[in-house]
A and B are shown apart, each in its own frame.
Chain A
Amino acid sequence: MHPILKLVSQRLALGILLLLGASALIFGLTEALPGDAAQAVLGQSATAESLANLREEMGLNRPALTRYFEWLGGIFQGDLGQSLTNKLDISESIGKRLGNTLFLACVAAVVSVPLAIFLGLLAVRFRNRWPDKLISAVTLTTVSVPEFLIGYILIYFISVKLGWFSSLAIINSSMSLGQKLYAVALPAFVLTLVVLAQMMRMTRAAILNLMQSAYIETAELKGLSTFQVIARHAFPNAISPIVNVVMLNLAYLVVGVVVVEVVFVYPGMGQYLVDAVTKRDVPVVLACGVVFAAVYIGLNMVADIVSILANPRLRHPK
């Protein structure tokens, strides 16, 4: 078998094992939280009688292990089950939510990744001169301010005062692509500001590191322009660390944006998960947890594989 194929299949198998472990952990922790779904749903209006009735209906009287393995059995048949609280099909609800989350993540990534890399290259080209310092100062400032604050500031000036963009990023399937892009403009902008700095700094550092190498000197002596040297000769060798940091940030864009979702009332996975945890809706929590874990594990795997492909020494092991 080709070593790369072997590596990929090994990674995949490991990833699935990791997912199983994560699901067991999530189930155990959700069960350990005080209260159960019946109590959470009825809240202040619970009575002993109505609690017992609702528990019976939700099947919460059965042992925890039975419920976990039932859920696991469903998963292998591609069935995520039903929500305990609103009886909706989880695959369907998650599908919509995940679609929304991925849409926002994509918009933010399409803007931020090329921009970060370009800014990184630019910073190297003008290192220690004002463009470099300006880029670093601005991106470090935006990454240091909490994202909800950036969100509120943008809402106040751009939507309340100027009225250019909507402060509510509620999107739905009946909207056209243009309308959706318009609706998510502000949250995508906030996310871009949040993830820009790390990727840009990593690009800059990785390339600066290579700029000391002898082959770069050769390229310079050949008479290539500085930007060509950076883009053609230094960048390909810096891909591995850059891809790693890009993947980490992409994972963040999918799994870590609950605060931005709340501020802009965006119907994504984060809000869905938080609601499910508060209501102890274990099947939904499990489904969300597994999706998040899969995204995380998957993106990290991609980063590893790309690193290997980008490195001839790893690509052709002896």
Chain B
Amino acid sequence: MNEQLTHMSKQVTAGKLTRREFMGKAAALGVSAAMASTMFADAARAAGPVKGGTMKIGMLGGESTNTLDPAVAATQVPGMVLRLYGEQIVDVTAEGEIDYRLAESVEGSADAKTWNFKVRPGVEFQNGKTVTAQDFLRTVERHANEDSKSGALGVLKGIKSMKAEGDVFTVEMENPTADLPYLMADWHLVVQPDGGFDNPNAGIGTGPYIIEVDEPGVRHTFKKNPNYWDDSLGHVDEVEVLVINDATARMAALQSGQVHMVNSVDPKVASLLERAPNLEIKSVSGRAHYVFPMHTNTAPFDNNDLRLALKYAVNREEMVEKILRGFGSVGNDIPVNESYPLFDNTIEQRKYDPEKAAEHYKKSGHDGSPIVLYVSDAAFAGAVDAAQLFQQSAAAAGINLQIERTPSDGYWSEVWNNKPFCASYWSGRPVQDQMYTTAYLSSADWNDTRFNDPEFDKLLFEARGELNVEKRVELYSKMARIIRDKGGLIAPMFNDFVDGVSTQVQGYKNDPNGFLMYSWAPIKCWLDA
């Protein structure tokens, strides 16, 4: 039987056997469907990508108000559209390394203050213009100047000067910044002709696909860019992104074969969908996490004992099990985890301990009045349920939590970063420095815990300029411990990215940076002939 299977696998690799035929023959040999499916996928991968076809993707996270401007892209569909039509100077690989896209190489000075990005020669925009260092400069300028409304504005602070000379784009930072290439990998920083100053919505980039139809909130279709410089990417001829915000409709579209992949599978139905024969559920643990931030400068949360009491009063395992249905892992009240480079995984895991919680609660001298937690399902899927679990587990420690449900509409403008205690989420950043700088540095725009610890700030700047890896690990470990023991962050769980992928799709690989292989799926995957 083995010999026959090997022979069949070889036939698949040679392109002589379709999936249907292979599965049928394998079943006849008494091989289980799951096993046969894996064998087929291996054989098909060995055969290399099949070219052609139309890849259809059903996605959550698109509105009729979306634009093509990379600066204001905020949700998943605009993110996918950017990935298809554009590229950044550099990107981050699934392994967390720098992926050289439009820059061929990056070089930093010894003090990590000056960084040179060398332009990849001969790359053309979709309007026929050649990419130059000037385009790099203008792009970063548009996102970083004082008129900017870019989502990347926060990470680009601290640039002292920039210049473009020949084929080299140079960034000079005010302070040493060892992670600067990672900052340039921010997904908003898609290089546009002349930085997109004349028309940010033009939809002209250097990406593997060219926009054909752009109907915001409905669908976006693309055809292959014949001049794309990287031959190893972009296997299908056409890509169609359909906006399907309704979870049930999205799953039905995948099950009935009208789309090849979907993002954001509801954990509640993921285990049921897994039983369907024509699709697979891909769950990737990453850096995204669900949180309950407390304002450390507002009573009663300005008392560290009360904060610790609440941290011990969360039953993390229960939340992962009931809210994420196992598609995730427990958090340790630190906004980073082991998927980050330079993470110290020896930090002790905080556990649910009602006794310790009660002890700290007593020490805090809180008067026993209910502690109000603002929550809405806009914060994350299942946020209201999670708050109720929190309420129950806190009650066991004698802490009275009061849940204040607010409308989803307007949650980010009215509640988050306004109310002293609420529910929220973070999708994570490629490196620890960026995550801490975004939300935990005392001067950060999004400091949603109002955290202000001079020692922490000092360590953060020190780590930025430190090029010795071991020393950096140590510095980051110290910072993580400060946040864990003194910070205003309750981070009970890290949620997985859960995608649904048809068995017709080959070449899918996990990428912890985001949904659908960090939006690379339509570019890196291919369809069975």
Contacts and interface: CB of A to CB of B under 8 A. Distances in A.
Nearest to A96: B215
Interface string A279-310: 10100100000000000000000000000000
A311 interface: no
Interface of B: 58, 63-67, 72, 74, 146-151, 153-154, 201, 213, 215-219, 242-246, 248-249, 252-253, 255-259, 409-410, 412-414, 416, 424, 445-446
Given A262-B246, A265-B246, A42 B151 contact: yes
A224 B219 CA distance: 58
Contacts of A166: 256, 258
A34 B445 CA distance: 21
Contact of A170 (B219, B245, B416): B219
Contact of B409 (A49, A170, A278): A278
Contact of A279 (B58, B65, B146): B65
A159 B259 CA distance: 13
Contact of B414 (A35, A49, A93): A35
19 contacts: A34-B413, A39-B412, A45-B446, A49-B445, A50-B150, A83-B65, A85-B66, A160-B256, A166-B258, A167-B256, A170-B218, A262-B245, A263-B248, A264-B249, A265-B244, A275-B217, A276-B65, A278-B63, A284-B65
Given A265-B246, A265-B249, A172 B213 contact: yes
B516 to A, nearest CB: 18
B253 A167 contact: yes
A220 B529 CA distance: 70
B150 A170 contact: no
Interface centre among B58, B245, B252, B445 (most CB of A within 10 A): B252
Contact of B258 (A54, A88, A167, A272): A167
A96 B218 CA distance: 12
B153 A49 contact: yes
Nearest to A280: B410
Given A42-B149, A263-B246, A93 B410 contact: no
Interface in A153-185: 155-156, 159-160, 163, 166-168, 170, 172
Interface in A249-284: 262-265, 267, 271-272, 275-279, 281, 284
A47 B154 contact: yes
Given A47-B154, A155-B252, A265-B249, A272 B64 contact: yes
Contacts of A88: 216
Q: How large is the interface on A (under 10, 10 to 19, 20 to 34, 35 or more residues)?
A: 35 or more
Given A47-B446, A265-B246, A159 B64 contact: no
B65 A34 contact: no
A86 B67 contact: yes
A44 interface: yes
Contacts of B412: 39, 43-44, 46
Contact of A167 (B67, B72, B249, B413): B249
A152 interface: yes
Interface string A73-86: 00000000001011
Contact of B67 (A53, A57, A87): A87
B258 A275 contact: no
Given A47-B153, A172-B219, A262-B246, A33 B148 contact: no
A275 B64 contact: yes
A42 B215 contact: no
B106 to A, nearest CB: 25
Nearest to A278: B409
B148 A53 contact: yes
Given A86-B66, A166-B258, A262-B246, A53 B149 contact: yes
Contacts of B219: 170, 172
A172 B212 CA distance: 13
Contact of A34 (B217, B242, B248, B414): B414
Given A35-B410, A172-B215, A263 B63 contact: no
Contact of A87 (B146, B201, B213, B256): B201
Contact of A281 (B65, B201, B252, B259): B65
Contact of B218 (A83, A267, A277): A267
3 closest A-B pairs by CB:
A35-B413, A85-B65, A47-B445
A50 B149 contact: yes
Contacts of B218: 170, 172, 267
B253 A168 contact: yes
A88 B68 CA distance: 11
A168 B63 contact: no
Contact of A43 (B74, B256, B257, B259): B74
B242 A265 contact: yes
Nearest to B409: A278
A54 to B, nearest CB: 4
Contacts of A53: 146-149
A51 B149 CA distance: 7
A48 interface: yes
B64 A93 contact: yes
A152 B246 CA distance: 11
Q: Quick one: which of B146, B147, B217, B413 has the most chain A CB within 10 A?
A: B413
A211 interface: no
A185 B257 CA distance: 18
Contacts of A163: 256-257
A54 B65 contact: no
Nearest to A55: B149
Among the interface residues B201, B218, B446, which one has the most CB atoms of the partner chain A within 10 A?
B218
Given A47-B154, A167-B258, A279 B63 contact: yes
A45 B64 contact: no
A41 B74 CA distance: 8
Indicate the member of A38, A170, A172, A265 with the most B CB atoms within 10 Å: A265
Contacts of B150: 50
A35 B218 CA distance: 25
Contacts of A87: 67, 201
Contacts of A48: 445
Contacts of A50: 148-151, 153
Contacts of B74: 41-45
Nearest to A37: B65
Contacts of B64: 86, 93, 271-272, 275-276
B414 A160 contact: no
B149 A54 contact: yes
A49 B244 contact: no
A115 interface: no
Given A47-B445, A265-B246, 10 more contacts: A39-B412, A42-B72, A53-B146, A87-B201, A166-B258, A168-B249, A170-B242, A263-B246, A265-B244, A281-B65
